[in-house]
């Protein structure tokens, strides 16, 4: 094998060919939650972990951007 210049990485060897008879790994299970209660709240819904902001009638609502 020929020496490589300094700072040049050797090319990795090609991976072995895939075996079509290889066993399929175990099923990881469902990727989605079981029910809607398992999902986090949507961005437009209030979080159950955050207390609602106090409403002060003297403070005007911010203008939408």
φ, ψ at 4 (rounded to 5°): -90, 150
Distance, CA of 62 to CA of 30 (rounded, Å)? 42
User: pTM for the full model?
Assistant: 0.20
Name the average pLDDT for the chain.
73
pLDDT at 4: 67
* Cβ–Cβ under 8 Å, residues 50 and 44: no
φ, ψ at 36 (rounded to 5°): -65, -25
pLDDT at 11: 75
pLDDT in tens, 36-49: 666 766 777 676 67
Distance, CA of 31 to CA of 44 (rounded, Å)? 24
* Averaged pLDDT, 13-23: 85
pLDDT at 44: 72
């Amino acid at each position: 094998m020929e020496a490589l210049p300094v700072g040049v990485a050797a090319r990795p060897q090609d991976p072995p060919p895939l075996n079509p008879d290889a066993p399929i790994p175990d099923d990881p299970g469902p990727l989605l939650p079981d029910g809607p209660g398992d999902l986090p709240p949507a961005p437009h819904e209030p979080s159950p972990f955050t207390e609602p902001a106090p409403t002060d009638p003297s403070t005007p609502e911010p203008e939408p951007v």
